[in-house]
Amino acid sequence: MSNKETVDFGYEQVPAHEKVRRVEQVFRSVSDKYDLMNDLMSLGLHRLWKSHAINLAQVRPGMRCLDLAAGTGDLSAKLARRIGPQGLVVVSDINPAMLGRGRDRLIDEGLVGNTEFLIANAERLPLPDNSFDRVTIGFGLRNVTDKQQALNEMYRVLKPGGMALVLEFSEVYLKPLRPLYDLYSFEVLPRLGRLVAGDADSYRYLAESIRMHPNQETLRSMIEQAGFEDCEYFNLTMGIVAIHRGRKY
């Protein structure tokens, strides 16, 4: 857990020990409508972003993969299809409601036999060193209390020669677009959340958490600090989303 006295929860500063509980409440509240809201919020683009992340992960049959903050299992499902019956995807999330929906979804899609499910905090993974070929986290790092510690854990559990992928909202690099993006994030998104999920506050938090997340260069430095090498990032949709990739040698 972060050793800071307070951490950001959106634009609010809260005691570090409180953030996990409050993030859990957010995702418990929106879990039933999470996939529908993703499609509506991104106009379906999140599916392309996730497919691009998996392509960059260069996953091969038989690999062992860990998907952190897996939520309803979008990345996990793509990984499971690529690794085949001889591989393994550990589908992990700190939130039981989200992980339960992910488990049900993967079972419904017939993705059994090469998946396991783990409730775990990304900052303290109950997993051995050097045990995975790939570690992914999609749209989850910004909700972690101590992001640097989570990146350290990702490095620890990777095998030498392994790769980590971080897919996350980032900083729009076209400055003229920023006011329009802010209008969408802080006016449209909460209203959409209220209409569809019955929860405007959670989606206001999600918009704020994006603004508080480290930008592309800062996150790359944090990934390097965790020990990764050949760190690079790929901007998608004018920087609304970025994929960071690092290797462990």
Give a yes or no: residue 185 inside a domain. Answer: no
Q: Which domain covers residue 159, as residue numbers?
A: 6-174+202-247
How far apart CA 185 and CA 220 sit, in angstroms, is 24
- Number of structural domains (the chain) is 1
Give a yes or no: residue 93 inside a domain. Answer: yes
Positions of the chain with pLDDT under 50 = 1-2
Give a yes or no: residue 96 inside a domain. Answer: yes
CATH number at 154 reads 3.40.50.150
Give a yes or no: residue 189 inside a domain. Answer: no
Give a yes or no: residue 157 inside a domain. Answer: yes
How far apart CA 59 and CA 78 sit, in angstroms, is 10
Contact (Cβ atoms closer than 8 angstroms) between residue 99 and residue 117: yes
Give a yes or no: residue 88 inside a domain. Answer: yes
How far apart CA 161 and CA 159 sit, in angstroms, is 6
Tokens of 183: 């209008």
Give a yes or no: residue 111 inside a domain. Answer: yes
The per-residue pLDDT for 33 is 86
For residue 235, the cross-strand partners are 242
Give a yes or no: residue 144 inside a domain. Answer: yes
